[in-house]
Amino acid sequence: MELIKEDDGLEPVSPTGEYFNSKVMSVSILGILESEIPIDDSQATALIKDVFLPINPRFSSIMVMGKKGARKWKKVEVNVENHVHVPSFSFPKGSSSPSENDSFLKTYISQIAMQPFPQGQPLWEIHIIKCPTSEAQGTLIFKLHHALGDGYSLVGALLSCLQRADNPSLPITFPSVSNFSSANKDDRNIGLRKVVSRCFSPLVNTVKDFGWSVFKSTCIEDDLSPIRCGSESFQPFLVSTVTFSLDRIKEIKSRLRVTVNDVIMGTIFLATRMYMQRASTNSNLSTNSTALVLLNTRNLRDYKSVRDMVRPNSESPWGNNFAFLHVPIPKVKPSDSQFSDPLKFVHEAHEVIKRKRSSFGVILTGKLLGIMKKCRNAEAVAKHISRTLRNSSMVISNVMGPVEKLSLANHPVKGMYYTVAGTPESLRITIFSYAGNLRVAVGAEQGFIDSELYTRSLVNAFDAILRDACWKQ
């Protein structure tokens, strides 16, 4: 990392940016856009210079070490050619059909995920894949370092480069946060006991959640299982995806009177236990397994544009504004090895997340990290975060996408998803909504987790929940 003597006027790197670009971790977000037509990259350089780079100064900055040891963002000239990659695959003769190209794309994503960023240039790359796959005629991969911002910021940046496919002059719209996080409850008639309970519950839940979070990050590890091998460092992984209809999810939401996020989490939890049973017939479905759920800590009701995010004192500021929430994966009794009650996974997810959201444990955990940084240093905090991830079984991240179909430089975007690279857990689930569908990407440690089997388990779990919630008499 470059050392500078004069750092006056340079923007400081956020604490989370330091944690995620350290000796312990180098975390990246990979955003994948699937094109409905073959990709013409002749205008790529001009689009990057005129549209992408002006979005935020960090895309034209490198991370440097200031005179007092604090990291800063330093503006530099960007050589676009160093950031754009157009690989040419050498396919065996007769084996370049779209479905067979899928494995080449997965391998390529795994390879670029393992490659560190050169620290002497801005921390982003674009990979243009021109060969067709079973999902698209071409694929764009945006690799962006997590130090630049979280999923909310970076996905917002990418979307600001796109336009509505039906009418480019109209603004892109996003689903309301309330559609995803507000259950259909009628709380008008609340008894005195419930009022008292609501007053004291946050205090009790805060103590429990904060204490549990500290223990989980330091001395309590999840059990080893078919989804957790206890790797101490980032391992190669493969990504598989599955698509669900948002209308179907909302139908389940309305029937069960829960939230969209509850339905998603319940499906993931049920699929995880199904996978554990299928991957190992002797697997114990009552293992202590925890999911780390990433929460957006911005105080907002709706998705905000990048223009709003970079304004001073914005309620949805650019950067890394998220926290981890420990959520136990529901256990399965030996007598219920056939998963006879799939809806219990949705209801348990609803109750646990509702309770944890009513506490201030997440805020206290963030304060603890700040104290650790002041008393020790950023590397110590990075080790603490890495250990938190390693002690858990999986990480789940959810980002809302646009309602309408979009296009990029007259290339209609068929689908979008993202994944995270650089963290030590064996299983990472990322969720992105786009044009009426929900895309779930499964990042599974190569050679340990069968990502295809896990995605099939997701489909089976969702079908079981849909059947019992909406069709079963």
pLDDT score for 445: 95
CA distance 205 to 211: 10
pLDDT score for 165: 92
Contact of 246 with 462, CB cutoff 8 Å: no
Contact of 324 with 294, CB cutoff 8 Å: yes
Q: 308: which 2 tokens? A: 């709003």
Instruction: Walk along the chain (473 residues) and give the pLDDT tens digit of each residue.
Output: 666 666 666 888 888 888 888 888 899 999 999 999 999 988 899 999 998 998 888 899 998 887 777 788 999 999 999 999 998 865 555 556 777 788 889 999 999 999 999 878 999 999 999 989 999 999 999 999 998 887 777 777 888 888 999 998 888 887 766 556 655 444 444 454 444 445 556 777 787 777 777 887 788 899 999 999 988 888 999 999 999 999 999 999 999 999 999 999 999 999 999 999 999 877 788 889 999 988 765 555 555 555 666 566 665 566 666 677 888 999 888 777 678 899 999 999 999 888 877 777 777 877 787 788 888 888 888 898 889 899 999 999 988 888 899 999 999 999 999 999 999 999 999 999 999 999 999 999 999 999 999 999 999 999 999 999 988 64
pLDDT score for 186: 44
3-state helix, strand, coil in the chain (%, to 5): 40, 20, 40
Alpha carbons within 13 A on the beta-carbon side of 246: 17
Tracing tokens 């979005």 back to the chain, one arrives at 55
Each residue of 390-425: b (16+ CB within 10 Å) or e? bbbbbbbbbbbbbebbbbbbebebbbbbbbbbbbbb
pLDDT score for 253: 94
Contact of 163 with 147, CB cutoff 8 Å: no
Each residue of 183-204: b (16+ CB within 10 Å) or e? eeeeeeeeeeeeeeeeeeeeee
CA distance 198 to 59: 45
- Start-to-end Cα distance in the chain: 63
Backbone angles phi, psi at 418, to 5 degrees: -145, 165
- Which domains can be identified in the chain, with CATH numbers? 11-164 (3.30.559.10), 177-302+321-402+423-471 (3.30.559.30)
373: number of Cβ within 10 Å: 18
DSSP state at residue 50: I
pLDDT score for 187: 44
Separation of CA 139 from chain center: 19
Given the DSSP bridges, would you call strands 28-35 and 427-434 parallel, antiparallel or unpaired?
unpaired
Q: How far is CA 238 from CA 180, 395, 442, in A?
A: 28, 15, 8
Instruction: Report the interhelical angle of 260-279 vs 343-357 (nearest 10°).
Output: 120
